[in-house]
Amino acid sequence: MLTRKQSDLLEFIHRRIKADGVPPSFDEMKDALDLRSKSGIHRLITALEERGFIRRLAHRARALEIIKLPEAMEARLAAEGHAPEPDPKPADMPAEIAAMAMNLPVMGRIAAGVPISAISEISHEIAVPGSMLGQGSHYALEVHGDSMVQAGINDGDVVVIRETGTADNGDIVVALIEDQEATLKRFRRNGKRIALEAANPAYETRIYSDDQVRVQGRLVGLIRSY
């Protein structure tokens, strides 16, 4: 059973995706529900995600997917012509693909420096050796900045990321900060604090509370053009 605010937000997101093809921003959701701060929206989205109504996509901010709607809402929206479309099931990957080159989507640019606006869309595809990937879903990002040079990651490199929401201390991750900005940094957790460390002494380590940072993936490979 959803609360009134949860139901209102779910319907608002659904209608905006149907009308515009993209979810609303957090500011738009806050205004639509007449809330004072975006923290209330974060809590509502988390509740909807935990109940299986929406899914946050790993590779960009403002990326919400409607998984299902309450039966009463779905029936009402269907009568209005807003019924959700079924989600196609991905085909199983043949085992022999592991040894072959695979095309991965390059989801724009990622900051290896000061955080930039989060990744928004697929810019192109790149062939990646299957041996680099292993199990799970992957995507690629073009590096922008020099904060990870001492980890061997240079401006213009393409990093291969395995989608995951967790990381161990020392992993290089794609971190989404306050659902607004994305950055490539080394991950360190100390209790409820998360440090995002650069690999360049010119950049300071940034410290956040654990509710401000969402891991979007872990570095598993790097491609460099000469």
Phi, psi of 131 (to 5 degrees): -65, -20
**Could you give the C-alpha distances from 149 to 3, 58, 183, in angstroms and in order?**
48, 25, 14
Nearest to 216, CA basis, from 146, 167, 154: 167
Identify residue 55 by its one-letter amino acid code.
R
Contact 16, 31 (CB under 8 A): no
117 versus 19: which is more confidently predicted?
19
Contact 80, 152 (CB under 8 A): no
Contact 126, 148 (CB under 8 A): no
* Chain mean position to CA 97: 25
Residue 89, pLDDT score: 39
pLDDT single digits (tens) 138-176: 888 888 888 898 899 988 888 988 888 889 999 999 998
225 versus 153: which is more confidently predicted?
153
Positive or negative: CA dihedral 72, 78, 79, 80: positive
Question: Residue 187 and residue 217: Cα distance in Å, rounded?
Answer: 11
Percent of the chain at pLDDT exceeding 90: 18
Tokens (6 digits) for 87: 């989600």
Angle of CA points 202, 207, 213, to nearest 5°: 115
Q: What is the mean pLDDT of residues 88-107?
A: 54
Contact 146, 178 (CB under 8 A): no
Question: Residue 10 and residue 47: Cα distance in Å, rounded?
Answer: 11
Q: Tell me which residues are annotated as active site.
A: 147, 185
Domains of the chain with CATH codes: 4-78 (1.10.10.10), 101-223 (2.10.109.10)
Q: What is the mean pLDDT of residues 125-147?
A: 80
Average pLDDT of every residue of the chain: 79
pLDDT confidence band for 113 (50 / 70 / 90): low
